[in-house]
Structure 1
């Protein structure tokens, strides 16, 4: 994958604006942009009627006033939930955004996006397939195609089937046996690990395979400086108020 086709700059704001606004909402994206960020990570799953929307957890309780498994509800019901009050009164009434709403925002502002495929259990392949198709429709012709990432190989496989030309990255929270072969078999252009896993040897393996090496979620200045000095290719952070993306 060449620099011309790689979709992301070095600094990426986690879930919109890290922890400064309700995660995975347009309010978080706007706040991250106020801090100068031009690339954002978000989590996408499917409603029961197949519409992609932003939410990290399988269930609704932590980040909305809803209850139960999010993927078991239709978009009409999900779109009416309050996804902001839990974070503070200033965000009261902030809705769960659809992927389409996020696409309009980032394309209008010429921002980059890392879409983590966060499927409801049992819908991994389908989520990748549907989100891949929607990205083709929503971003087609914009020149701003996002990066797909996932901890689940099936989700990446689905995205590869429906949107083979969109860049992919394998997320890892441990260096399981065969992780590099797995990334290559999925046609990934990057491996994205927890930052504590990204030592010199791992970085060298990834680069030797011709892939980019990214890390999440780096909020410590000393850790960031070490990773930058080591040659990591991108950092996902919550600390948008501490790290300048310039």
Structure 2
């Protein structure tokens, strides 16, 4: 099994939770300024195969574009405004490529959880491409060598995407995302040689935490925005908390 060297306790959701336009460089910079050092984000492919950050399959909610994001080339996507939807202060903020995020994150020691978020119908293609890109980008910054950066954690709700990532770059740690406990999900995580499982926090029980610790997985959860719930989950043995409340939980609670 590929090892996951570290699991940060506190992971900022999409850069800075809901305090900036999600998945943009502005969001990561804000999260960093607030003391966060671990970040989750969503990665999909442009029509010409460039990995970039966007949660939705379509462009309307978080950009001034329209239609399926995966149908646009990266050159087209780069012209879009991904900030004005949030507030005028972020007008002109562009979509963020995975390459640019890595250039920002790794020199400063940030840890990344890359959720593979395929455009429907491109699950295997996206999983393979994101894994290959991550492998190359992290190696360029010294990953795999003594003193180099920690590999990213690749996660996805789509087993087909994780399987393609496994085949392309088997050494990259993988985690299965679950928003429900579907039949065979634990066997699927084992078949994918996952090092982690990442569940909606409402699914976790103390018994389920114990069962999955016994299976040898690292245990993460999303999206926890309540301090009391976070404390309960950590007391049960959860290791990583993904949150929008970058202004109140985790590092922010210590300042």
> TM tier, shorter chain?
over 0.9
Q: SS state of the match for residue 183, structure 1?
A: helix
Equivalent position to 2:152, from 146, 151, 158: 146
1:40 aligns with 2:39: yes
1:236 is aligned to 2:239: no
Moved over 4 A (4+): none
- 1:171 alignment partner, one of 144, 157, 177: 177
Contact kept? 2:111, 2:152, Cα under 8 Å:
yes
Matches within 5 A, 1:1-246: 5-140=4-139, 141-142=142-143, 143-245=149-251
The CA deviation string for residues 152-190 of structure 1, in whole angstroms up to 9 with x for no partner, is: 000101111111101100000001111111111101001
Q: Is the 8 A contact 2:46 2:70 kept in 1?
A: yes
C-alpha distance in structure 2 between counterparts of 1:136 and 1:211, whole Å? 22
CA distance in 1, matches of 2:46, 2:208: 37
Distance 1:68 1:231 in 2: 42
User: How big is the shift at 1:228?
Assistant: 1.1
Cα distance in 1, alignment partners of residues 4 and 178 from structure 2: 23
List per-residue Cα deviations over 1:199-222 (Å, max 9, x = no partner).
012111210100011100000111
Q: Distance in 2 between matches of 1:150 and 1:86?
A: 26
The runs of 5 or more residues in structure 2 that have no matched partner are 144-148
Q: Give the structure 1 partner of residue 146 of structure 2.
A: none
Shift of 1:7: 4.1
RMSD: 1.2
Q: After superposing the two structures, state which structure 1 stretch, 54-63 or 236-245, moved more.
A: 236-245
TM-score by length of 2: 0.93
3-state SS of the aligned residue for 1:225?
A: helix
Distance in 2 between residues matched to 1:157 and 1:181, nearest whole Å: 13
2:16–2:244 Cα contact (<8 Å) kept = yes
**Deviation sequence 1:121-170 (CA, Å, 0-9, x none):** 01000101011110111001232210000000001011111111011000
Question: 1:192, CA displacement in angstroms?
Answer: 0.4
Distance 2:239 2:250 in 1: 16
Quick one: distance in 1 between partners of 2:78 and 2:6? 29
Native 8 Å contact 2:7 2:239 kept in 1: no
In 2, Cα distance between the equivalents of 1:13 and 1:176? Answer: 27
